[in-house]
Structure 1
Amino acid sequence: MAVMLQASGTSAPVSRRPAPPAWLVVTLACAGQFLVVLDISVVNVALPSIRTALGLDAQGLQWVVNAYAIAFAGFMLLGGRAGDLYGRKRMFLVGLGLFTAASLAGGLAQEGWQLLLARAVQGLGAAVLAPSTLTLVTSAVPEGAARARAIATWTAVGAGGGAAGGFVGGVLVDSLSWRWVLLINVPVGAVVLAAAALWLTESRAGDRRRLDLPGALLVTAGLGTLAYGISQTEAEGWTAPATVVPLTAGVLLVAAFLCVEARAREPLMPLRLLRLRAVASANVAMFVSGAAMFCMWYLMTLYAQNVLGYSPLEAGLSLVPSSLAVVLGSKLAPLLMPALGPRAVAVLGTLVATAGFGWQSTMTADGTFLTSIMFPGILMMLGGGLAGTPLAALATSGAAPQEAGLVSGLVNTSRTMGGSLGLAVMSTIAAARTSASTAPEALTAGYALAFRTGAVVLAAGAVMMWLWLPRKAGAAH
């Protein structure tokens, strides 16, 4: 799952209150990160129920996931910079408060558009909250073995949040209703919010007070427009105006974002960072990996329910082994990195995930749990967990303390942007193969083609990582 990492340095404290124990800071930061990542995947199991309740079509269901992911990715850099400038505790509280309020609104939605709007606002809150979670951890724990263990815990909790979404969603949908996949955030968010306000101390990196809001709006609008254009290809084809216009507009908006960043006095994403080999190569690797991996939970839960006939709870339970595998991979990575190096561990993890995607692409309409869900799912998520930490370590190597939040946001942005566009592409590929049929065989053929495409993307990504990534963090600039 998504990981963000600060390579070195700590932020300057701006509070005279006694610093809370490191374990408490880590616990609160991990709780915030768990909620953020959980909500990327928790709605997947609820999608069939949401479709029935709110009358959404297949494209609408895709946007229940992507509205959150696109807002999350598009405003992540802004959230990271805001934490550096205005204080990590303050942005943690603002982001968590917005996220919690939007969760309440989404859980009470009566129309499809209301749910999609709430999901987008949730994503905005998550984008403000998420970068602060890691910088709070790295500020509280001294650099060295202790910080590595804290980051591994943070990574595992984040990975586990994404992986546990299917199980948590299944339990809530079966025992209560689909609305509780959102409403459950309200009491949990309120408790974490109160505890953070009471115990966390403030820190920030500098005194500048300017934010690049135009840049954030341009990159978010560009990404959303591109994803919409890709989703239109299923019904309209690649050459229809309904497809060409949003795709062209999306490219132009992203180009405008790059132009604004090149000229801005205080850019949202300083392009000079991309001149560093480690930063550029690892963020591209994050983008490619996210494009393939993000769709896994979405397609697997649809396959389990729409083809194999699992209930929401059964579908969630079927993904528990994968949930454990991604946590295991995240915990193994820091142990392997000293001996093998981050590049080798990242490539190894990507190859393991590739094998899982290839196996999953052999799925059949009468598949069994062991061979069609459990074993390929374990490989996919074990590989994803292994690759995440070394890629983040490389992506942020050499980051200055005053840019810790910004670089943390950049890492998660790369993966989530890749995931958002990848979900649009993979779901469109699957839908085009099924030709609007709801027969189990047709649905299976579509899902299998999407997983086969993901395997090809990951294999190409592994080659790119081996050739481009530096062998060690900070080894090449």
Structure 2
Amino acid sequence: MPFALGIVVAATMAGKAMARVQPRIIAGIGSLLAAFSMVMFSRLSVDDSPAAAVLAATGGPTVGEDVSYWGQVFPYLITMAVGMGMVLAGLTPASLHRVAPEDTGVGSGLFNAAQQLGGSVGLAVLSTVSLHFAGQRTEQVIEPITTALPGDPVGVQRALLEATFTEGVTHAFLVGSFLLLIASLIVWTNTRMEPHETGTDETHLG
């Protein structure tokens, strides 16, 4: 909910700012803000040692239970939402720059299709990265976990999830931040549009 609301508020405010600010500045800053948020998510530190994972699987505190949502997650959830809202607001009018009026429907459709495709491909890439590093972590912790939980396959699976999840998503966040930096570079170097060309009053920013 905070993420969705943050995007809506940021996109609305950024849309109004485009009457004075170039879209590439808005989208460029937004992509950098989103990349920063990803890096900060990757820096969350938890005890995912085999001992802690076994304890969690046998009724103890879950790995990461001591992480403060409001202090360590929520701030960067908001900066991520604001950044993505700025990116969407900045790139939507830029996608129709110099498109003939009779072709705006097609241009808008292509932009939305690219947005959906990019989200799907991005999710697939980050999921693959997460599973790869989680698999590597599994090879490191499976022996001490199975030794600590003999004859308990369900407990072993729970402990493995506790011990490997953080490793996977940490690397996924880092790869995501790298991809956002590449996107930011593309925005800064290839978006050429002045505020008076955005047609802010007529362009749909949703």
TM-score, scaled to structure 2: 0.69
Amino acid at match of 1:321: P
Q: 1:342 maps to which residue?
A: 23
Amino acid at match of 1:448: T
Q: 1:49 maps to which residue?
A: none
Equivalent residue in structure 2 for 1:354, among 26, 30, 35 = 35
Matches within 5 A, 1:191-202: none
Equivalent residue in structure 1 for 2:96, among 385, 396, 414 = 396
Shift of 1:372: 4.1
Amino acid at match of 1:359: M
Matches within 5 A, 1:37-116: none
Q: 1:375 maps to which residue?
A: 75
- Residues in 2 aligned to 1:466 and 1:343: alpha-carbon distance in whole angstroms: 6
Q: Does 1:454 align with 2:135?
A: no
Q: 2:150 maps to which residue?
A: none
Amino acid at match of 1:402: E
Q: 1:211 maps to which residue?
A: none
Q: Does 1:332 align with 2:13?
A: yes
Provide the secondary structure at the position in 1 that maps to 2:192.
Answer: coil
Equivalent residue in structure 2 for 1:387, among 87, 106, 113 = 87
Q: Does 1:444 align with 2:125?
A: no
Q: 1:469 maps to which residue?
A: 191
Q: 1:321 maps to which residue?
A: 2
Percent identity at matched positions?
A: 26
Q: Which runs of 5+ in 1 are unaligned?
A: 1-319
- Residues in 2 aligned to 1:371 and 1:324: alpha-carbon distance in whole angstroms: 19
Provide the secondary structure at the position in 2 that maps to 1:397.
Answer: coil
Shift of 1:441: 3.4
Q: 2:53 maps to which residue?
A: none
- Residues in 1 aligned to 2:93 and 2:163: alpha-carbon distance in whole angstroms: 42
Equivalent residue in structure 1 for 2:120, among 394, 414, 420 = 420
- Residues in 1 aligned to 2:21 and 2:105: alpha-carbon distance in whole angstroms: 28
Cα deviation 1:228-256 (Å, max 9, x = unaligned): xxxxxxxxxxxxxxxxxxxxxxxxxxxxx
Cα deviation 1:166-196 (Å, max 9, x = unaligned): xxxxxxxxxxxxxxxxxxxxxxxxxxxxxxx
Matches within 5 A, 1:77-226: none
Provide the secondary structure at the position in 2 that maps to 1:439.
Answer: helix
Shift of 1:403: 2.0
Provide the secondary structure at the position in 2 that maps to 1:409.
Answer: helix
Give the 3 Å change call, closer, same or farther, for CA 441–339 of structure 1 in structure 2: farther
Q: 1:432 maps to which residue?
A: 132
- Residues in 1 aligned to 2:72 and 2:110: alpha-carbon distance in whole angstroms: 35
Cα deviation 1:379-426 (Å, max 9, x = unaligned): 111100011122110111232333232111111111211111111110
Q: Which runs of 5+ in 2 are unaligned?
A: 47-63, 139-159, 199-206
Provide the secondary structure at the position in 2 that maps to 1:435.
Answer: helix
For the Cα contact (< 8 Å) 2:97–2:193, is it kept in 1?
A: no
Amino acid at match of 2:12: K
For the Cα contact (< 8 Å) 1:394–1:472, is it kept in 2?
A: no
Matches within 5 A, 1:212-291: none
- Residues in 2 aligned to 1:327 and 1:441: alpha-carbon distance in whole angstroms: 36
For the Cα contact (< 8 Å) 2:12–2:89, is it kept in 1?
A: no
- Residues in 1 aligned to 2:87 and 2:118: alpha-carbon distance in whole angstroms: 15
Provide the secondary structure at the position in 2 that maps to 1:339.
Answer: coil
Cα deviation 1:62-114 (Å, max 9, x = unaligned): xxxxxxxxxxxxxxxxxxxxxxxxxxxxxxxxxxxxxxxxxxxxxxxxxxxxx
Provide the secondary structure at the position in 1 that maps to 2:19.
Answer: helix
Give the 3 Å change call, closer, same or farther, for CA 398–370 of structure 1 in structure 2: same
- Residues in 1 aligned to 2:134 and 2:171: alpha-carbon distance in whole angstroms: 10
Amino acid at match of 1:441: A
Measured on the aligned residues, the alpha-carbon RMSD in Å equals: 1.9
- Residues in 1 aligned to 2:94 and 2:31: alpha-carbon distance in whole angstroms: 15
- Residues in 2 aligned to 1:455 and 1:419: alpha-carbon distance in whole angstroms: 14
Amino acid at match of 2:102: Q
- Residues in 1 aligned to 2:177 and 2:122: alpha-carbon distance in whole angstroms: 13
- Residues in 1 aligned to 2:9 and 2:42: alpha-carbon distance in whole angstroms: 24
Deviates more, 1:421-430 or 1:397-406: 397-406
- Residues in 1 aligned to 2:71 and 2:164: alpha-carbon distance in whole angstroms: 19
Shift of 1:359: 0.7
